[in-house]
Structure 1
Amino acid sequence: MSNLCIIPARGGSKRIPRKNIKPFLGKPIIAYSIEAAINSGLFDEVMVSTDDSEIAEIANKYGATVPFLRTEKASSDFATTFDVIEEVVAQYEAINRNFDFICCLYACAPFVTSDKLSESLKMLETQEYDSVFPVIPFGFPIQRALKLEGEKINFFYPEFSLSRSQDLEKSYHDAGQFYWMNINRCLKKKKIVTNNSGCIIISEIEGQDIDNHIDWKLAELKYELLQSTE
C-alpha cells in the first residue's frame, strides 16, 4: 500500500495573519504536523500544498516536500479542503504517481501524534471505511442548545427542555486535525465524510480549534499541560 500525507497551508490566512507558520511554543506551528507525519513512518511522502514561497521554505526545512505550488483557484477563500486534495491527486497522477490511502493533515494541528495517525489508519484498513478522523465529545448536550429570538431565549429542541443531561444521546464534533481516506472511494463520492466513515474519539484537552488569538493561547496552554503530564 502507498500512503501520501497532504498538509494544506495557504498563505492568505485572514483571522490570524501567517497562521500556518506563526511560532507556536518556539517553532512554526506547521512543524508539529510535519514532524508527526514523518515520525509515524506511515507515509511514502509528506507534502505541503501551498501557494506561498515562505511556507514552502519552512516546510522543506522540517522535512516535507513541496513538489508543486497550489494553483490560484485552489488558494482562494472559497476553495475547500476537498478541492485541494483533488488538485494534489491530479498533480501526482500527471507524473504517474498514485496512492491507495491519503491523510489530509491540517497545518495548525499541534496535538496530532504518530500514534493517533497509526490508530486511524489501522481502523481505515481493517474496517474498510471510506475515511477516518478524530472527533471530540461536546461538553454539553446539543439537545439542550438555546437560541435568541429577538430578545427572548428559547430551546432549539423544546422536547428536551426537561430532560436530564445524562439521559441524552452523546454528540461529537470534528476535531479539525486530520482525515485518513481511501482516496478512490472519496474521490468517487466527491466528499471526505461519507455514510461509511469512522472515527477515533479524543478528549477536549487533545484538541483546540484555532480561529483567533484567544484560541491560540488556549492551544498553547493545553499543549503544555499535555506535555507536563506525559
Structure 2
Amino acid sequence: MANIAIIPARGGSKRIPRKNIRSFLGKPIIAYAIEAARQSGLFDTVMVSTDDRGIADVARHYGASVPFLRSAEAANDFATTAQVLIEVLHQYSKQGQSFEYACCLYPTAPFVTGTLLTEAYNLLKANAFDTVYPVQQYAFPIQRAVRLADGKVNWFQPEHALTRSQDLEPAYHDAGQFYFFNVPAFQKTQRLITDNTGGIVVSEMQAHDIDTETDWQLAELKYEAMSDER
C-alpha cells in the first residue's frame, strides 16, 4: 500500500491573512512543507487540502497535487484536523486509492525537513504506533507554574515550590508541525492522538508556532540562524 502526505491549508486564516501562502524569506510558506515531503521520498502522493483556488495554484506550482477542493463543512472555523483528514481519505477511497501511512503536515511548518519526517516514519513503524509527532520540551518546569487571579499569584502545584528545577521531570508539548499516522488505526478511532502515540523530540530551534506577526518575524530570524549553522 502507498503513503500520502496531506497538507491542510484552508483560505480563511484570520490572525494572519493569507497566512498559508504568505512569503516566508522569499517564497510561500507552504512551499517548505511541500518540498520537505517530496524530498523525503516517503510519499507516493503529496497533496494539499484547501478550499481556496489561489492556494491550490501555489501548491501545484511547488509540486503538490490538489485533486479536489475541500468541502465547506471541512473548511469552517470549527472543523477539526481529523475531519479534514477523514474527508481526504474518503475522497481518495472513492477513486479506488487507499494508503497504509499518512502524514498530516501543517503548511506553516518551515522547519520540517525530509530527515525529520523519515525519523518519525521509522519510529512509527518500528514501534507499531498509531501516530508519531514532534514535541518540544518546555523551557521552564511546568510543575512550578503559577496562576494569576485579580493580581494575586498562586502555585498550581505548591508541593514543588521549593523543588530544584533539575529534580523535576521534563515536560513536553506538541511542536505543531505534523502527525505521521497509521491510516487503518486512524480510520478506526478517528483520533490522531491515542494511547499508542509516540513522540520525537525537536529542539527549541527546530520549530516555532506562528500565530502573530511577532511569531512570523521570530520564525524568520530563527530559520535564518538555523540555515547559517547548516
Q: TM-score, normalised on structure 1?
A: 0.99
Aligned to 1:131: 131
Displacement of 1:149 = 2.0
Q: Is the 8 A contact 2:86 2:190 kept in 1?
A: no
| Amino acid across the alignment from 1:147 | R
Aligned to 1:181: 181
Aligned to 1:207: 207
Query: Secondary structure, in 3 states, of the residue corresponding to 1:200?
Result: strand
| Amino acid across the alignment from 1:211 | D
Displacement of 1:139 = 0.2
Deviations, residues 108-139 of structure 1 (Å, cap 9, x unaligned) = 00000000000100111111000001100000
Q: Is the 8 A contact 2:8 2:49 kept in 1?
A: yes
> Where do residues 148-159 of structure 1 align in structure 2 (5 Å cutoff)?
148-159=148-159
CA distance in 1: counterparts of 2:189 and 2:97, whole angstroms: 21
> Where do residues 139-154 of structure 1 align in structure 2 (5 Å cutoff)?
139-154=139-154
Query: Secondary structure, in 3 states, of the residue corresponding to 1:173?
Result: strand
CA distance in 2: counterparts of 1:98 and 1:183, whole angstroms: 9
Displacement of 1:203 = 0.3
Aligned to 2:218: 218
CA distance in 1: counterparts of 2:118 and 2:94, whole angstroms: 29
Aligned to 1:87: 87
Unaligned runs of 5+ in 1: none
Aligned to 1:107: 107
CA distance in 2: counterparts of 1:98 and 1:124, whole angstroms: 19
Displacement of 1:24 = 0.1
Aligned to 1:118: 118
Stretches of 4+ aligned residues off by more than 2 angstroms? none
Deviations, residues 168-202 of structure 1 (Å, cap 9, x unaligned) = 11000000001100011122112101100111101
| Amino acid across the alignment from 2:60 | N
| Amino acid across the alignment from 2:102 | I
| Amino acid across the alignment from 2:82 | F
> Where do residues 65-80 of structure 1 align in structure 2 (5 Å cutoff)?
65-80=65-80
Q: Is the 8 A contact 2:135 2:200 kept in 1?
A: yes
CA distance in 2: counterparts of 1:181 and 1:77, whole angstroms: 24
Deviations, residues 35-88 of structure 1 (Å, cap 9, x unaligned) = 000111110000000000000000000000000100000000000111100000
CA distance in 1: counterparts of 2:100 and 2:134, whole angstroms: 20
CA distance in 2: counterparts of 1:78 and 1:173, whole angstroms: 22
Query: Secondary structure, in 3 states, of the residue corresponding to 2:195?
Result: coil
Aligned to 1:17: 17
| Amino acid across the alignment from 1:55 | I
Q: Is the 8 A contact 2:51 2:75 kept in 1?
A: yes
Displacement of 1:93 = 0.4
Establish whether residue 33 from structure 1 lines up as the match of residue 33 from structure 2: yes
The alignment covers a number of residue pairs equal to: 230
| Amino acid across the alignment from 2:226 | L
Unaligned runs of 5+ in 2: none
Establish whether residue 48 from structure 1 lines up as the match of residue 48 from structure 2: yes
CA distance in 2: counterparts of 1:118 and 1:36, whole angstroms: 10
Percent identical pairs in the alignment equals: 56
